[in-house]
Amino acid sequence: MTDPPLDLSEQIKAATKDNHVRAENTQLMLSYQKGQITLVQYKVLLCSLYEIYKALEEELDRNASHPAVAPIYFPQELARVESLERDLEHFWGSEWRKKVIVPAATQRYGQRLRKIGRENPELLVAHAYTRYLGDLSGGQVLGKITQKSLGLISKDGLSFFQFPGVSSPNRFKQLYRSRMNSIELTEEEKAAVLEEAVLAFELNIQVFDDLQKMLSVATETVNQPSDRFPAAILRSSPILQYTVGLCLALATIGVGIYAL
């Protein structure tokens, strides 16, 4: 007797299992989970996350009626852009839009999301699943780590980690998986979604490897006393943009994804 076919969510977990293990054991991931994050790093992180989620959510909004997107379209419960805008304003001030730093790899991530949104909207499922369910899982722990590391008394500046529209993260994740597993995809489309999930992990791991080589440079740089450092220095140094911004952005993404 043959086993029943795996649901799409189970197939994604199985397809990316090795990637999980490899990424979890990078120095970058281990360091973040130890709470080694500074305010300057977190502010740059918010810039990267904002650009990524802005691209993702604009494409989800634009494709909301697509048969592969509609079942997992939960803007009221999951959308992160407005939360990130509040966090950015809290740390950067009312003119934060003029100070946003967009590292090159973050731009490439956004470009990828916009490309598949235009050409293959069903592939957005892979990104939405790994990001949002990761946020609901590891994001809760990550919020506490960030608050403690930065010595924040309140949760102001931590809106990204909060989901007021989700009363029970575990029950919502079950609903989300059920909705995603109900999506009707051809075998070719399903294979493409799995490939997209693997690609997302592989791109992250490649960046982890590159960032680890430059981590000592980034650490020395972000510890400079000037609060204006990111805007003043990073704009003139593509290498530091790549290093500082993405090392924290990918660490945050990773912590959540591994809890799926």
Q: Which domains are present in the chain?
A: 8-223 (1.20.910.10)
Q: What is the DSSP letter of 65?
A: T
Query: What's the rounded Cα separation, in Å, for the pair 82 and 95?
Result: 15
3-state SS, residue 63: coil
Structure confidence at residue 51 (pLDDT): 85
Structure confidence at residue 78 (pLDDT): 97
Please write the tens of the pLDDT for every residue from 202-249: 766 665 665 555 444 545 554 555 454 454 444 444 444 444 444 444
Q: In this structure, are residues 155 and 41 in contact, taking their beta carbons and an 8 Å threshold?
A: no
Q: Crossing angle for the helix pair 124-150 and 8-15, nearest 10 degrees?
A: 60
Residue 238: CB atoms within 10 Å: 11
List of residues 6+ apart from 162 with CB closer than 8 A: 83, 143, 155
List of residues 6+ apart from 173 with CB closer than 8 A: 133, 136, 137
Provide the b/e sequence for 176-195 (b: ≥16 CB within 10 Å).
bbeebeebeeeeebbebbbe
Quote the pTM value.
0.81
**Between 241 and 43, residue with greater pLDDT:** 43
Tell whether the model's pLDDT for residue 15 goes beyond 70: yes
Query: What's the rounded Cα separation, in Å, for the pair 21 and 171?
Result: 26
Structure confidence at residue 130 (pLDDT): 83
Binding region: 13, 20, 129, 177
Please report which confidence band the pLDDT of residue 62 belongs to, taking 50, 70 and 90 as the band edges: very high
Binding region for heme b: 13, 20, 129, 177
Query: What's the rounded Cα separation, in Å, for the pair 25 and 104?
Result: 24
3-state SS, residue 158: coil
Residue 212: CB atoms within 10 Å: 15
Structure confidence at residue 258 (pLDDT): 41
Structure confidence at residue 253 (pLDDT): 44
Q: What percent of the chain has pLDDT over 70?
A: 73
Q: What is the DSSP letter of 241?
A: I
Q: What is the DSSP letter of 220?
A: H
Structure tokens, 164 = 């007021």
Please write the tens of the pLDDT for every residue from 135-194: 898 777 888 988 998 899 999 999 999 999 999 999 999 999 999 999 999 999 999 999
Query: What's the rounded Cα separation, in Å, for the pair 143 and 3?
Result: 39
